[in-house]
Amino acid sequence: MKIKMSWLVLIVSQSLLLSACSFGQPDGQQEESESVTRPSVESKVVAQDLSIPWSIQKQDNVFYITQRTGGIVEIKGGEKTVVKTSLSKPLSSRPEAGLLGFVLHPEFKTNQQAFAYYSYDDSGDHYNRVVALKRTANEWTEEKVLLDRIPSGQFHQGGRLEIGPDQKLYITTGDATRQDHAQDPSFLGGKILRMELDGGIPSDNPFEHSYVYSYGHRNPQGLAWNRDGELYETEHGPNGYDEVNLIKAGNNFGWPKITGDEKGESLISPLAHSGEPSWAPSGADFWNDDLVFASLAGQSVKRFDTETNEVSELLTGFGRVRDVLVEGDTLYFVSNNTDGRGIPRENDDKLYAVDLKSLMKEE
């Protein structure tokens, strides 16, 4: 009886969640089915019992994974350690907020520095910030604030950090549910930002004295460059209509003026979109010429063919997936079933590894 009742509560709660969905609500409310599917491919569990993992980095056989609840998980030789993050502001506990994006400095071996994006509350107001962190003997310490008071809201934090082939730091910001502001270049929300690694504004940014690289975004969460140095992005849309975009400096990607196949003067339509239901896409990376990206609502890792602009499922059955990392022919990804919208499996959340070549052979 207890099992039947728990499933009933889950179904009812998800029905209520769906009924609340609107432009200002969390992304991908068609998110979880009431069944737990079996993995579609063979995988290796690299680590487990993670707490809402968000971003994966790897260097010298060490994984670094941020947890939205705080702390950076370091995994080396199968051993997992949660290293404290000493931040100057307490992490926000609002939905989708917390310790999010993370990327190692290109000279991490010598300077032990990294960059992080996190959410905090301040006297009733809510913000995100980008900081430089230093790895000391026992913790990660916030050394310098590079950009502060990025808009935060109940939902739509953005939060992805990546360093491009130009050695600039790229930052995705959500519209913080203030959708009309995504069209305002002076508003830091609903944008992709670009900065020097010391926090300065690059002289070749498209808008003078501004970090803004592109605008008209709703909740972008994935960034990846192909072998030609072109930047692709994944983005949450309203009630579905999630996007894959090719990002170019100064372009306006239309939110909230256009979605899906809609067009507008000087507005860039996506290369591909989900329609309905939602993918709720997150972290992205390239494997050869294909963009692979995490899908939360779609409970999968998806593949975008840059020649045909078609999206297909690469693997399923692990629940919600938050981030991906490709190294050679190995795909690493983290599940996100403990974030309050998923159905946690035993020992969730986990970091998995999959052999992409074997996966292609099976197809």
Q: What is the pLDDT of residues 84-101, one digit of tens each?
A: 999 999 999 998 999 999
pLDDT digits (tens, 9 = 90+) for 182-212: 999 999 999 999 999 999 999 999 999 999 9
Lowest-confidence range among 2-6, 232-236, 356-360?
2-6
Alpha-carbon Rg for the chain in angstroms: 19
Paired tokens of 334: 């983290």
Percentage of the chain lying above the pLDDT 90 cut: 86
Q: Per DSSP, what are the bridge partners of residue 64?
A: 57, 74
pLDDT digits (tens, 9 = 90+) for 108-129: 999 999 999 999 999 889 999 9
Query: What is the C-alpha separation between 20 and 18, in angstroms, rounded?
Result: 5
Looking at the predicted structure, is the pLDDT value of residue 6 above 60? no
Query: Would you state the pLDDT for residue 95?
Result: 87
Query: Would you state the pLDDT for residue 37?
Result: 75
Query: Would you state the pLDDT for residue 36?
Result: 63
Looking at the predicted structure, is the pLDDT value of residue 4 above 50? no
DSSP letters spanning 275-338:
-SS---EEEEEEETTEEEEEETTTTEEEEEETTTTEEEEEEESS--EEEEEEETTEEEEEE-TT
> Does this model's pTM top 0.85?
yes
The mean pLDDT of 35-42, rounded to a whole number, is: 80
Looking at the predicted structure, is the pLDDT value of residue 273 above 80? yes
C-alpha distances out from residue 283 to 2, 54, 136, 234, 355, Å: 37, 9, 27, 8, 19
Q: How many CB atoms lie within 10 A of CB 279?
A: 31
